Structure 1
Amino acid sequence: MSARSTISLTALTAMALGGAASVAYAEGEVNLYSSRHYDTDERLYSDFTEMTGITINRIEGKADELIARMEAEGANSPADVLLTVDTSRLERAKDAGVLQSIESAVLEERIPANLQDSDNQWFGFSQRARIVFYDKADVTEPPVDYVSLADPKYKGMVCHRSSSNVYSQTLLAAVIENHGEEAAKAWAQGVVDNFAREPEGGDTDQLRGLVSGQCDISISNTYYFARALRKDVSGVTADVDKIGWVFPAQDAEGAHMNLSGGGVAANAPNLENAIKFMEYLASDQAQQYFSAGNDEFPAVPDVALSESVSKLGEFKPDAVDLSKVAKNVPAAQKIFNEVGWK
């Protein structure tokens, strides 16, 4: 049986809008809506099918588009599982009413409490630490925590992504949760004052900025850098030895963790298979592949790391409840607007 049955999003939607949700039910299948865009995830799906005999019908799209489509499809949605990146999007799906609470002793036992929704509507399956990278030739005293990024001594040295990016939003939302809104606003203003250039590009572009000399300090998720250690990434790998890194706030809250996870759709026609797939993603086999295939940190404790991720070293992660962090995203966006963080 094929691990992936290609069904277009339009076709599935047509089925849903044309009749009851049962039209999307199929014994031995699960309909996955995913905004994870990594080719390496193919291995996760093929292994699941090999183990269970359950075919995955995968539909890909941007997270907000998939959430909006699930809302529009309503009770007739064919979606069984939603996978997406970042806590804010998982919480957005919950708030939109497109996920449901599930009972799973496996997920409860294996996924740490701070990496799952308090109502069991979503669970984290992999993590990335959002940390400080710097040019070793130009920076002898890199920032040791997030607060230090606002220190005037780093004026004109910092590269960062735009405020519209979910990674930026969730980091500031975590600063709000850990330090309060007033301190978070002062921090955001200080970082803007220290920008080497206007925010642009993705995380890999922030690393390229260090190599090219556009900036001396940048923020990126660890898996972008670990990927450059494992294989050739244009503009980074050839000069990777020039880049140093710091896991921030090791004497305080710990390094901010960005989450990738999923939940069972509110009207899942293949509910039992959906829960089986979610539980599989928490298995040692799948957790190890998140690290080996996409250079991420497993959500389940004590799972072996890939060589590229291990090279980053041990660190203390921020154990803040990410469901609370997600609720701070609107306040974070308001602060971004107020301080002129584009």
Structure 2
Amino acid sequence: MSRRRPLARLPLAALALLPVLAISACGLLGSEEEADLQVYSARHYDLEEAFAGFTEDTGLTVQFLHGDDDELLERLKAEGEDTPADVFMTVDAGMLWNAAEQGQLAPVDSPALEAAVPEDLRDPEGRWAGLAMRARTVMYNPDAVDPSELDAADTYAGLADPKWEGRLCMRDETASYTQSLVASLIDLHGRERAQEIVEGWVANDVEVMSNDIELLEAIDAGGCDVGITNHYYLARLLEEDPDFNVEPYWASQEGDGVHVNISGAGVVAASDSKADAQRLVEWLATDGQNAFVDANHEFPVNPQVEPEPLIAGFGEFERMPVDAAAYGSLNAEAVEVLDAAGYR
């Protein structure tokens, strides 16, 4: 059945309250056609192949509206019951938790998701599910660093050791990746210890960069020796250049494990196509897992699905459990910790 509400419908008064950012509409249909399902997506990575497979399998067409996590959540709230969105897709567990807590996602009863997605990667009330995992771990230049220099028990805290002074690169404080990592440190160690760790990074004259690719290129070029990035950015660079001189170090394998975040989705509470929206989320976690994660070199959430060969070559690792509630509820504290440390 065709959607009755067009993608762009939004009251002008509400639209005026939203930030003027780069939201773009795209999809598998012509611009004048209406899709069966509308996805608000903060995920920008090779969606077309996965959604084309869903359409082929089910006959349901899909269209996307791309934007930042916060921006899309605010849009959902402004649109209210008039939203054309059926699925909200984001790249941070804390944002999924926030969307659910603010009443924007509908609980679903899904044995398929319960079977396909580990318990800590989905909402206990069924309002969202993780679909792809990204490991945020330590990267290093093998010409400058012996892995034995890295703290195997608590690698993230170990980068606060003075031996890394002038050798450390990290992401900027506005990145959700940075904020969720610090939120996880607060959850693990308490705010006081997390503050000490971040202050240690700053004391090491950390070079803060605006994206993970720039950070990895700096490590490769010798501008810094170690840093923290999502694993798939390294995979992208290695795919282009197998001689790219950066290697991953799976953090804290003798401790709490690698910090992992998720890209995931939930059914929009105001959707009038909830059953089909649920069907899409379930498909992405099952039959569509490889199509959804492989092109961006992410790890599947479904333990029955093998990772693509390049990242499988990075080796197996133990991960921290994902605590979406902590990532979401401690986000403001994480920002305060970063600000107090002068991390910028």
**TM-score normalized by the length of structure 2:** 0.87
2:95 counterpart of 1:93: no
| Structure 2 gap segments, 5+ residues each | 15-32
Q: Give, in whole Å, the separation in 2 of the partners of 1:69 and 1:202.
A: 25
Q: Which segment is superposed worse, 163-172 or 83-92?
A: 83-92
Deviation string 1:145-177 (CA, Å, 9 cap, x unpaired) is 111011111111110011111000001111111
SS for the counterpart of 1:12 is coil
Show the counterpart of 1:33.
40
| Structure 1 gap segments, 5+ residues each | 18-25
Give the counterpart letter for 1:293 in structure 2: A
How far the C-alpha of 1:84 sits from its partner, in A, is: 1.0
Q: Give, in whole Å, the separation in 2 of the partners of 1:46 and 1:149.
A: 43
Q: Give, in whole Å, the separation in 1 of the partners of 2:181 and 2:168.
A: 16
Give the counterpart letter for 1:336 in structure 2: L
Show the counterpart of 1:282.
285
SS for the counterpart of 1:58 is strand
Q: Give, in whole Å, the separation in 2 of the partners of 1:243 and 1:69.
A: 39
- Rate the CA distance shift 1:62–1:35 in 2: closer, same or farther, 3 A: same
Q: Give, in whole Å, the separation in 2 of the partners of 1:27 and 1:274.
A: 15
- Rate the CA distance shift 1:135–1:101 in 2: closer, same or farther, 3 A: same
Show the counterpart of 1:45.
51
Q: Which segment is superposed worse, 138-147 or 181-190?
A: 138-147
Show the counterpart of 1:327.
329
Q: 1:12 aligns with which of 9, 34, 43?
A: 9
Q: 2:71 aligns with which of 65, 68, 71?
A: 65
Give the counterpart letter for 2:50 in structure 1: L
Cα contact 1:290–1:297 (8 A) shared by 2: no
How far the C-alpha of 1:90 sits from its partner, in A, is: 1.4
- Rate the CA distance shift 1:32–1:121 in 2: closer, same or farther, 3 A: same
2:248 counterpart of 1:245: yes
Show the counterpart of 1:20.
none
Cα contact 1:31–1:81 (8 A) shared by 2: yes
- Rate the CA distance shift 1:33–1:67 in 2: closer, same or farther, 3 A: same
Deviation string 1:84-129 (CA, Å, 9 cap, x unpaired) is 1111221232233221212111112211111112322211000011
How far the C-alpha of 1:180 sits from its partner, in A, is: 1.5
Query: How do 1:244-263 and structure 2 match up within 5 A?
Result: 244-263=247-266
Q: Give, in whole Å, the separation in 2 of the partners of 1:133 and 1:27.
A: 44
The structure carrying a bigger helix percent of its residues is 1
Show the counterpart of 2:29.
none
How far the C-alpha of 1:207 sits from its partner, in A, is: 0.3
Q: Give, in whole Å, the separation in 2 of the partners of 1:311 and 1:289.
A: 19
| Cα-Cα RMSD | 2.3
**TM-score normalized by the length of structure 1:** 0.88
Q: 1:127 aligns with which of 128, 133, 141?
A: 133
Q: Give, in whole Å, the separation in 1 of the partners of 2:86 and 2:126.
A: 15
Show the counterpart of 2:21.
none
Show the counterpart of 1:266.
269
